[in-house]
Structure 1
């Protein structure tokens, strides 16, 4: 109560400071003005008295002249004083009322803003106290089981169609029959999370890491941490932190783990550490990394809290041309390809030279250089890339395909019940709108058949590539998930689809 009494007194005093001069200005000026004018009248009367004395012979002409000069001097000084003391023109009453209302409104608005944003009675928090609170928050986090139980009370699972539910049952049965199959466990964990079985997804990923043992990768550990965060409703629990710590130990550049470690710092009152972690992460990331957008969305607030209000994010790197860029450039005349691809291909080549990259990145570079008719560079870079991926047969196959011009495949890749190369060539005479409709219709037909009837690995392959070429990434991701489920009990087909997904950017 004392706080609000003090606030009221301060508001009243501030109001008086502004309002009293506004309304009392003329009164003080009038008083000063009246005094000076009275003196001037006295001096005028004295001049008249000198003239009368001269007429009566009381004063000689010389004496009268000296008296007039002296009195006139005093009259001029009084006039100057009166002019100096006179107040400027007074504002109209309506204007003064308006100014008074604005002043009172500002004071009232300040009080109202505090009622909305302020915290009456909040204790002072010097830096040591804030650090102590952050440590307390960090150490007092709920563990995974408690966090999952709390989140489960308010979590609503997404609706899953009957067909996909049936495919999930088949996947679970396949994993139960082969409980130590890493590919099946990895697929099961991801899809359990996607369908809302959060605890089951975490358990499957934990089993995967146990099966892999020392062969578990940084990305496996980071995925486990991410699944734990999802199951905990977004909270980075101690168990999730441990998984991210393992990921960073295996690969200090792992972006997913670094993102969540920064998030954990923000959740526990250390935006200064979050800022440093996320700023470094952005400098090592590309626009396609899935953690980049959340970081960019939250970085202005984090930077402000960290004392960096003028922070500007670094320019993000690039992965070079997309699959759609390559497909589009292949259809252009040779003299037009440079303007479409050169900048992106050069940026990718620089990035690979400085930081390296995946087999898909190298294949993209080879395909882009081949489209630009830079055969010597294709030969040199293929030799370098084959040295980098000498122990990865699938990567070598991909690199050779890209160097020979067989990758990426056209949307009209040959095959049954899907758009053919001949279909696309015939479509060249159509209007762009009709051609797009025709291709979209054929792709939709292929995808619909795969979703309802299934198909072999090559058909799923064509469907995925077709959707990516049409820039329908969300549909491609959904189809990839269904392909993994449909082919779960066929390791060879599943490996083929996984390799395809990596080639076209659906999987890492």
Structure 2
């Protein structure tokens, strides 16, 4: 109400210079002829005073008088000044009404009066987002400086790529991921992130290069959700909507029933069904909601502001709680998988492998579990060191179930070469080369490794 009053007051102030003259009227303005007549009459009076004082002769006085009188008569022919507006309250009211109504009507037509103001809480949230964006920019700049000093830090290249992707700098992000993979950071999650950047780089189109990268991720980790999602998108774009629906439905069946991803997957299924000209199928039911409690928003915010030592202590405490819960419920497959991932993040590969072993016993036919165990054990493994026996045993176990698994072929070939069996290594890598798209970076790397082997 106060705002409306202030706006009306401002509008009245803006109109006042226009309507005030109409309310009080205009004062008459003297014409140029009236001014000239006054001057010439004054000259006649001055001439009479000069004659009286004897300053001018009679003949000169007559001539001067005639000239002044001629000019005085000529002033009657000068144009008169236009008349000013007279007082007109009615016209003032009309002007005020027309301008006021026009302003209000224009706002109602062109403006958005129904849009509410942003509350202070919302402004605070916007400010927080801006602050987070600035923090991300600074963190990315710091990573760039760090990588200039230590370009062989593959973990920093991965984080640098993720930051650049969040900043929508996809070309630079793709280059950062390539650096990380060239340094040996070839786990499926990093490769999937790289493939996603390729898709985003193309404006959402799954290009042939991105599709080849996604298939490579899926060969290493058949359960990788990101690769399966984008390959389903690729099927839609290739005119195979039914294949896309099957892919989305499989992902939907693995999502908890309360997952926010279900809405996005359901939308994609509807789009694919519409493209195929078929009814939208019944959506696959998800898994039960996850019961494992995680940190709330306040805990996450507090952790972000903690010193590194305190933050790590808090994370280790949470992992210890998860481990205690698993000991009390050893049949919880998802819990063992989460515990293995948590230990891997904490760079405790042996504990991570133990957790994956317990998960594998609950689901022995799932080869993705021992492969996760292999990746956990090799996370901090220098490329030049010999593969641990535990890793080789896991790889042999997977080979018995899936002899064409690319990760198994690569590492078993490496183990054979490290043991001095170049021919066996060449056999593994030659078989792997037939599974990799030709012309890719990975294919060139495998060929280079084979060329470096001793000649037969």
What TM-score, normalized by structure 2, do the two folds share? 0.38
What TM-score, normalized by structure 1, do the two folds share? 0.34
Q: Which has the higher contact order (CA 8 A, sep 6+)?
A: 1
Larger Rg: 2
